[in-house]
Amino acid sequence: MFRNLLASMVVTLLATTLGIIVDGIVIGKFLGVRSVAAYGIAGPVILILLAISGIFTSGTQNMCAGEMGRGNAKNANDIYSESCVITVGFCTILTVIINIFINPICRVLGATGSASYLIKDVAAYIRGLSFMIPGMMLALLIVNIRQLEGDNLTAVYGTVSMTLVNIGLDLFNVYVLKWGLNGMAIATTISYYTGLAVVITSAVLRERMYKFHFVKIRWSIVKKIFKIGTPGAVERFCLAVRITMFNRILVMVAATGTLGSLAVAALSVQYSINNFFGVIGMGVAMAVLSVTGVFFGEENKPALKRLLKESLRTGILLTTLSATVLFIFCPYFVGIFTSSSEVKHIAINGVRLYCLSMPVDCINSIIKSYLQGIRRAKTTYTFAVVEILVISIGCGFLLGKTIGIYGVFATYFTAETITVIVLMLFVMIRDKTFRLKIDNFLFLKKNFDVASYNVYEGSAGSMDEVIELSEKTEKFCLEHGADKESASILAMSVKEMAGNIIKHGFSDGKEHQMDYRVIYKNGEYILRLRDDCKRFNPVEWINIVQGSEQNGEKKNIYGDTGIMKVKKFVKDIRYVNSMNTNTLIVKV
């Protein structure tokens, strides 16, 4: 499930930042050092917008994933629809506020003192971008929710269309309109709304479970969305503050005002490159957030443990590879974003220092996303504030004062490494151990999940293994005090449902996997089957069969006999399809 989602999350993040990256390239190549510096000062605004977007996207995505994990598909769709309405309304108000307070915002970002001459350029860029906020955030919300259903094409279509329009309009602005930074921002805004139109069209044409419909706003749900999504927003807000402070520190520690402007421009180049290469680590973290929501909703501790292991291993590997590529070919990438030899020299050294931090930063991002996914809001807040505001800005100030401008660029690796060490020390002190295992980083309450002796789980790839699972399930139920009839019903459910998956889902010649889990909790026996075969909703087929029988017809549908058998005897049966996996939940 994690691997299925990872690639699409990376594409989504590229869609988020690609317009800004294209702006950075064109500004660096055609508008000069002054515009690059102004673009760098305005950079934190993008992080703040992404922070606000994260409240809606990550909060909604995590809540919907949790509802899917519990088999509540209708409630998940209602939450999605409510979030769409709230997102558009809130972001429209935000656009108005930004335009009213544009000059004070520019001064807070750093267009003051020796950099005050940049305030008009910074204001022009931010004002143009402000109108893209509702469209960008709604597009991100739709794309993220579509990915819960395994729909990755919507993100691809939106990204491609947006990028093509943005490149064309940026060049039209440079060569024809000559509107400077304001024209660049307007071009980006138009491109995002183009992407939104494509995303909505794709979503409508490829409708699955999530369908927007007008629904009464439940403020209790809105409150939960904000509660779950805010930790991620706090992190991005802290990142915006860090960029702003780094800009100020660079100007402060530079030997001359000219060197300070060059250093700010170089940091802007590094920020743009980070927007591109950083999507891998961020994509891993976002995938962790979504999958954590599913397993947390299931109260599945073993699955959360496996997820954390796999994501850390995958994240470290991918970010190490991307950091190596960036380090080796750094001069070429920097050259894409600036034509100034002075800025290029500083940026190359700065980007290479940043490369060292990428694997360590990925570890911290995964832990924060995991904590957010298991609803540990206070712990996530604390992690983000300590890592980004306290450690990073503190290191930036100290290293900048002692080493100079390159001390600020070296802060990324230093601060991320210190953060990992602090986390490990905290866990060792809390658990009173020097031998750390993955269990020490789960941060779950003691009563989370059921005791191991009340769980039986495994996997199957053949009918012989299904029959063995069925027999062991019946034995498991009897050992936990079930009567013979209930034990037989659950064993039959395993045999019929898992058997259908093997017979029909595994018959396409591709490699597949089916996981099985039965738990005893609160006097109930709950069976959960998950497979990565083609989409098949047995609950929907039950309704079709029952409807055909009422009309005096008889439909020959594969597996209908076994499914109808199970339906007659169980308390409840639910189906959800999430992230290209089928999940069937049966209660006895």
User: Can you tell me which residue has the tokens 């590997």?
Assistant: 317
pLDDT of residue 453: 80
Radius of gyration of the chain, Cα coordinates, nearest whole angstrom: 26
Whether residue 217 has pLDDT greater than 80: yes
Among 62-66, 113-117, 246-250, 553-557, whose mean pLDDT is lowest? Answer: 553-557
> What's the pLDDT tens digit per position in 300-341?
888 899 999 999 999 999 999 999 999 999 999 998 888 888
Q: Are residues 582 and 491 in the same domain?
A: yes
Tell me the C-alpha distance between 368 and 384, whole Å: 8
Whether residue 279 has pLDDT greater than 90: no
pLDDT of residue 558: 43
Residue 243 lies in a domain: yes
Q: Are residues 432 and 457 in the same domain?
A: no
Residue 448 lies in a domain: no
High-pLDDT (> 90) share of the chain, %: 21
Q: What is the mean pLDDT of residues 112-128?
A: 86
Tell me the C-alpha distance between 83 and 341, whole Å: 47
Q: Are residues 24 and 134 in the same domain?
A: yes
Q: Are residues 460 and 578 in the same domain?
A: yes
Beta-bridge partners for 530:
515, 583
Q: Are residues 540 and 400 in the same domain?
A: no
Residue 254 lies in a domain: yes
Tell me the C-alpha distance between 379 and 443, whole Å: 9
User: Can you tell me which residue has the tokens 């309304």?
Assistant: 89
Residue 371 lies in a domain: yes
Among 4-13, 443-452, 480-489, 526-535, whose mean pLDDT is lowest? Answer: 4-13
pLDDT of residue 35: 86
Q: Are residues 481 and 420 in the same domain?
A: no
> What's the pLDDT tens digit per position in 487-532?
888 888 888 888 888 888 887 778 888 888 888 887 888 888 888 8
> What is residue 112's DSSP assignment?
S
- Domain final residue pick, 385, 411, 438: 438
Tell me the C-alpha distance between 405 and 250, whole Å: 6
**Hey, what are 506's tokens?**
């595994």
Look at the pTM and tell me if it is higher than 0.75. no
Q: Environment class of residue 586 by beta-carbon count within 10 Å: exposed (0-12), middle (13-18) or buried (19+)?
A: buried
Residue 446 lies in a domain: no
Q: Is the CA virtual torsion 485, 488, 492, 498 positive or negative?
A: positive
Q: Are residues 191 and 274 in the same domain?
A: yes
- Domain final residue pick, 406, 438, 470: 438
Residue 443 lies in a domain: no
Q: Environment class of residue 402 by beta-carbon count within 10 Å: exposed (0-12), middle (13-18) or buried (19+)?
A: exposed
Q: Are residues 523 and 552 in the same domain?
A: yes
Whether residue 112 has pLDDT greater than 60: yes
Q: Name the average pLDDT for the chain.
A: 83
Q: Are residues 236 and 208 in the same domain?
A: yes
pLDDT of residue 525: 84
Whether residue 400 has pLDDT greater than 60: yes
- Domain final residue pick, 385, 412, 438: 438
Tell me the C-alpha distance between 516 and 528, whole Å: 6
pLDDT of residue 116: 83
The answer to whether the CB of 139 falls within 8 A of the CB of 8 is no
Whether residue 358 has pLDDT greater than 90: yes
> What's the pLDDT tens digit per position in 543-567?
655 555 555 554 444 444 556 667 7
Beta-bridge partners for 527:
518, 586
Q: Which tops the pLDDT comparison, 244 or 127?
A: 127
Q: Which domain holds residue 557?
A: 453-587
pLDDT of residue 566: 72
Q: How many domains does the chain have?
A: 2
Residue 398 lies in a domain: yes
**Hey, what are 407's tokens?**
């001390």
DSSP 252-298: HHSSSHHHHHHHHHHHHHHHHHHHHHTHHHHHHHHHHHHHHHHHHHH
User: Can you tell me which residue has the tokens 């490149």?
Assistant: 167
**Hey, what are 456's tokens?**
């039986």
pLDDT of residue 557: 43
The answer to whether the CB of 186 falls within 8 A of the CB of 125 is no
Q: Are residues 421 and 458 in the same domain?
A: no
> What would you measure as the largest C-alpha separation in the chain, in angstroms?
89
Q: What is the mean pLDDT of residues 356-370?
A: 93
Whether residue 273 has pLDDT greater than 80: yes
SS3 520: strand
Q: Are residues 344 and 483 in the same domain?
A: no
Residue 105 lies in a domain: yes
CATH number of the domain at 506, please: 3.30.565.10
Whether residue 357 has pLDDT greater than 90: yes
Q: Are residues 187 and 58 in the same domain?
A: yes
Half-sphere exposure of 123 (CA within 13 A, CB side): 16
